Amino acid sequence: LTPDAGGAQGTSTLLGTEARFQAVTESIGDAVIVTDARSEILFWNAGAETIFGYPESEALGSPLTMLMPERFRDPHRAGLARVLAGGETHVIGRTVRLAGLHRNGTEFPIELTLGRWSDDERTLFTGVVHDITERDASERYLAAQLAVTGALVEATSADEAVPKLLPSLASAMGWQIAVLWTVDDSGTGIRCEQFWRAEEVVAEAFERRTREAVFPFGEGFPGYVWKAGEPVCVDDFGADKRFPRAPLAAQAGLRRAIGLPLVVGGETVAVIEFLTYESGAPDAGLTAMMETLGRQLGLFFLRRRMEHSLAQARDELERSNADLEQFAYVASHDLSEPLRTVAGFVQLLGKRYEGQLDAQADEFIGYALDGVGRMRQLIDDLLLFSRTGSAELQPAPVSLEDIVERVRRSLAANLEASGGWITSSELPELVADPVQLEQLLQNLISNGLKFRGEEAPRVAVSAAREGAAWRVEVADNGIGIEPKYADRIFKMFQRLHGRDAYAGTGIGLAVCKRIVERHGGRIWVEAPESGGARFCFTLSDQEVAA
């Protein structure tokens, strides 16, 4: 190694050792490098030439720092000084992960094991360098895949997952900066939605510019990836004149840029941009991984987009429902006032002047009273409908049999007058809002009695298990409903008969539908062969188990 070190005997021993040492070091693939205390290279094996690209002639006598990326050079010098001063001996003998710099300027991951020894007068260092590009890459790809899968699986919504995605992906890959760019709704520009950088990265100017930027299709790196529609890797982004942010990236020491378009249904909706200190052409593994990732994340962004439009639709629906309820409530309240006046005085007229005017006047008063009565019913029903939608549900265990019995009692006068009857059999206990459940059965049963045929009206209430729910049936022997009207009857104000045949406002079944749906069930009507109508509804089985 050092011919001028020591005396003749020492030299020959050393030479003998050196020959053996050389034989060993030439036969292994790792780089073996010996330096002195000034970091000047004194020994360089064939493995070192392969890994770093410098021939021995060029390497010997050169500073070791040429084998490291710029950002490691000063820390290396400082660390060496501390070691020589007697501190930090713990780095000796340990294996650490670092980055190496190839003669052609590309960076690659290495594992370095450092040894320290002395000959008679000098301190020397041996470094064994293992190129871990391949192992590192496959480990990182695996970690990245895991990171993405983890983020997708754990999050309950895409909105929640997106912010976690960039950091976990970038740190798994060992990349320094990750930016999520999303295409505007108008499709005219792409802008930064999220910026993430590893803690050690200093890139203020780059970050500021990135956060402010809006790139049109084809412009800037994100616009370029957007146009390409496939993963793009730019090996020396910092020096690339096509990209306006390149000088700022170069300032921060960022070299390679990787752009991943997220494509949903053939359309790019977002671009993820990664920047890293590494440079050089990416290997096939990276490209393949990017493609897989692009597909996976594309699906993910599709999910996010669907979640957003679903949430929007739901908000709109809720708003319009609330508006409608508010309107119905206010309208019916404000309608009550003038109605009271009209009703009061028409009644007074009738009472005081009936038979004193002519027959026509009596007839007119009769119509007016009739109209007032219908209007009153309509307002009451509207108020009921809006309360059914807005009142907070208070579910409790209730016996369906008890509910039917209460309805039976409240309809007693009706039953007596019509000669009708209500039968029920083996009704279960349910969990439902008792007030609303009673309203539901009251409406269905009284409908069954009202739309009667020639015979005395008969309504039968029964229940049966249907999967995890109860299916309750209210069947009558009345005039029945033509199947083509089966949907229409549940809508507000829909009536199938003239008022003179059957009274009513056309709100009752809309109230029923609302009650059932608020309980998470379904309501429909069937036309049994035997005639009449059969109303069925389901109530999810929250039956009291305890």
Partner 1 sequence: MSPELQALCILLVEDSPADIRLTEEALLDSPIVDTLHVTRDGEQAMDFLRQRGAHTDAPRPDLVLLDLNLPRKDGREVLEELKGDPELRRIPIVVLTTSATEADILRSYDLHVNSYVTKPVDLDEFAHAVHSIQVFWGGVVQLPPS
Give the footprint of partner 1 on this chain (CB under 8 A): 333, 336-337, 339-341, 343-345, 347-348, 351, 376
Q: Judged by CB, which is closer to partner 1: 339, or 496?
A: 339
d(C-alpha 385, C-alpha 321), whole Å: 12
Report residue 446 as tokens.
Answer: 């009284």
Cβ proximity to partner 1, 168 vs 439, nearer residue: 439
Of 450, 449, 485, 444, which is closest to residue 462 (Cα–Cα)? 444
> Is the Cβ of residue 285 or residue 344 nearer to partner 1 in the bound state?
344
Least distance CB 367 / partner 1 (angstroms):
17
User: Residue 273: beta bridge partners?
Assistant: 179, 259
Q: Which is closer to partner 1, CB of 279 or CB of 505? A: 505
- How many angstroms separate the CA atoms of 115 and 92, rounded? 5
Q: How far is the CB of 377 from partner 1 (least distance, A)?
A: 10
Q: Which residues is 411 bridged to in the sheet?
A: none
Contacts of 72 (CB under 8 A, 6+ apart): 65, 98, 99
Q: What is the rounded CA–CA span in Å between residue 497 and residue 503?
A: 9
Q: How far apart are CA 214 and CA 203, in angstroms?
A: 19
State the Cα–Cα distance between residues 423 and 337, nearest whole angstrom. Answer: 41
Shortest reach from residue 344's CB to partner 1, in Å: 5
CA–CA separation, 268 and 287 (whole Å): 18
For partner 1, which is the closer residue by CB, 345 or 485?
Answer: 345
504: left (phi over 0), alpha (psi -120 to 50) or beta: left
What is the smallest separation between the CB atom of 222 and partner 1, expressed in angstroms? 55
Least Cβ distance, residue 207 to partner 1 (angstroms): 54
On the CB side of 128, CA atoms within 13 Å amount to 13
Q: How far is the CB of 352 from partner 1 (least distance, A)?
A: 9
Q: Are 224 and 241 in contact (CB under 8 A)?
A: no
**Minimum separation from the CB atom of position 365 to partner 1 (A):** 13
Considering the complex, what minimum distance in angstroms separates the CB of residue 354 from partner 1? 14
CA nearest 370: which of 347, 354, 338, 336? Answer: 347
State the Rg of the chain over Cα. Answer: 42
Strands 256-264, 396-399: parallel, antiparallel or unpaired by DSSP?
Answer: unpaired
Nearer to partner 1, 349 or 431 (CB): 349
Residue 398's H or E segment, with its range, is strand 396-399
Query: Measured from the CB atom, is 73 or 376 closer to partner 1?
Result: 376
Q: Which is nearer to partner 1, 370 or 455 (CB)?
A: 370
Nearer to partner 1, 117 or 367 (CB): 367
Burial category of 505 from C-beta neighbours within 10 Å (exposed 0-12, middle 13-18, buried 19 and up): buried
CB of 433 vs partner 1, minimal distance in Å:
17
Least separation in angstroms between CB 328 and partner 1: 15
Residue 377's contacts (CB-CB under 8 Å, 6 or more residues apart) are 503, 504, 505
Judged by beta carbon, residue 11 or residue 347, the one nearer partner 1 is 347
